[in-house]
């Protein structure tokens, strides 16, 4: 069993400290763990060149020659994925989303793969990778320098956009506040302060223990059928599927999860 960890912050930074702790937790049950430090990779943006040789012939045929095919191989070889990312301007860093657009999204979409499989059976030249149908467990660690949670608002929701196309079953997610500002003028400079924050989360015992637990949860889920993995995070969350608390409310009182699209009717009860 292979568990892959994406470290999306600086070398030896807070993301990496939390990720290593999670992977050590997972390693206790004997799974093989591996870290990819995304800042070490060269992954350029998808230019939507219309041809998409990747989708026709596979990642090696992509017109952009960079590390995206390498990342894809690592993902498809894995049985689990933990993404640990800082928050930059309320969302995960842009380079992580760039990797999503190159190696996740439509390229791994299980629904699209089913369609392509049918096309292939009809003799069309399309690329199908059976590993897309493998069951995987996943978890997210989102953290930021702010000490108020609104500054981390789109961290976790955007991390879900990394995994939903591949139908990775997210079993846990955590947020850590106050991992430090990167700017000397930062108002939310965390307990140690500006510029001294590289890896300072190691001093946050609660966050470290929680990251280790998150890793154990992923290891526990790996290899099980998706329906048996279950949610192991702290609070179930408003959305029963993604366990996120962002919901869209329309004028007609339709309530919808912007991520998975599960919807229902909002009933307003006036209490006198």
**Strands 137-143, 169-176: pairing kind:** parallel
- In DSSP notation, 65-125 reads -SSHHHHHHHHHH-SEEEEEEE-BTTBS-HHHHHHHHHHSGGGT-HHHHHHHHHHHHTT--
Considering only the stretches 75-83, 88-96, 133-141, 230-238, report the one whose residues sit in contact with ligand FMN under the rule CB under 6 A.
88-96
5 forms part of the interface with ligand FMN (CB under 6 A): no
- If one asks whether residue 197 binds ligand FMN (CB under 6 A), the answer comes out as yes
Q: Give Cβ neighbours of residue 263 (< 8 Å, ≥ 6 apart).
A: 254, 255, 256, 257
In whole angstroms, what is the distance from residue 158 CA to residue 201 CA? 22
CA–chain centroid gap for 19, Å, is 12
Q: Does 157 bind ligand FMN (CB under 6 A)?
A: no
Of 24, 53, 90, 194, the one binding ligand FMN by CB under 6 A: 90
For the segment 10-49, give every residue that binds ligand FMN (CB under 6 A): 10, 13-15
| From candidates 98, 182, 245, 246, binder to ligand FMN by CB under 6 A | 182
Report the residue number, 161 or 197, with the smaller CB distance to ligand FMN.
197
Q: Minimal distance in Å, beta carbon 260 to ligand FMN?
A: 24
- In the complex with ligand FMN, the residue whose CB is nearer, 192 or 241, is 192
Q: Which is nearer to ligand FMN, 9 or 138 (CB)?
A: 9
User: Is 204 a residue that touches ligand FMN (CB under 6 A)?
Assistant: no
Cα 8 → chain centroid = 10
Q: What element of type H or E holds 19?
A: helix 14-27
Please say which residue, 160 or 220, places its beta carbon nearer to ligand FMN: 160
Q: Least distance from C-beta 187 to ligand FMN, angstroms? A: 11
Decide: is 198 part of the binding site for ligand FMN (CB under 6 A).
yes
Should residue 189 be labelled a site residue for ligand FMN when binding is judged by CB under 6 A? no
Residue 87 engages ligand FMN in binding (rule: CB under 6 A): yes
Distance in angstroms (rounded) separating the CA atoms of residues 162 and 141 = 13
Q: Give which of 25, 4, 7 is closest to 16, Cα–Cα.
A: 7
Round the CA-based radius of gyration of the chain to a whole number and report it.
Answer: 19
d(CA 147, CA 135): 36
**Which one, 119 or 148, has the nearer CB to ligand FMN?**
148
Q: Which residues contribute to the site for ligand FMN (CB under 6 A)?
A: 9-10, 13-15, 86-90, 143-146, 151-152, 179-182, 197-198
């Amino acid at each position: 069993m292979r568990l892959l960890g994406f470290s999306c912050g600086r070398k030896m930074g807070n993301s990496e400290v939390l990720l290593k702790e999670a992977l050590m937790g997972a390693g206790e049950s004997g799974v093989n763990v591996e870290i990819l430090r995304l800042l070490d990779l060269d992954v350029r943006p998808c230019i939507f060149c219309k041809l998409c040789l990747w989708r026709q012939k596979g990642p090696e045929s992509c017109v952009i020659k960079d590390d995206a095919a390498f990342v894809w191989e690592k993902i498809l070889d894995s049985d689990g994925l933990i993404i640990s990312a800082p928050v930059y301007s309320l969302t995960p860093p842009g380079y992580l989303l760039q990797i999503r657009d190159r190696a996740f999204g439509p390229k791994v979409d299980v629904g699209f793969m089913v369609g392509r499989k049918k096309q292939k059976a009809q003799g069309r030249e399309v690329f199908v990778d059976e590993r897309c149908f493998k069951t995987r467990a996943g978890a997210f660690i989102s953290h930021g320098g702010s000490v108020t949670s609104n500054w981390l608002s789109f961290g976790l929701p955007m991390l879900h956009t990394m995994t939903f196309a591949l139908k990775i079953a997210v079993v846990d997610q955590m947020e850590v506040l106050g991992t430090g500002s990167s700017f000397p003028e930062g108002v939310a400079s965390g307990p140690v302060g500006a510029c001294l924050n590289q890896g300072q989360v190691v001093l946050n015992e609660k966050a470290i223990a929680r990251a280790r637990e998150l890793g154990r949860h992923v290891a526990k889920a790996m290899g099980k059928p998706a329906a048996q993995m279950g949610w192991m995070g702290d609070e179930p969350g408003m959305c029963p599927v993604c366990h996120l608390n962002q919901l869209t409310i329309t004028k007609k009182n339709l309530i919808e999860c912007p991520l998975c699209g599960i919807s229902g009717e909002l009933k307003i009860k006036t209490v006198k």
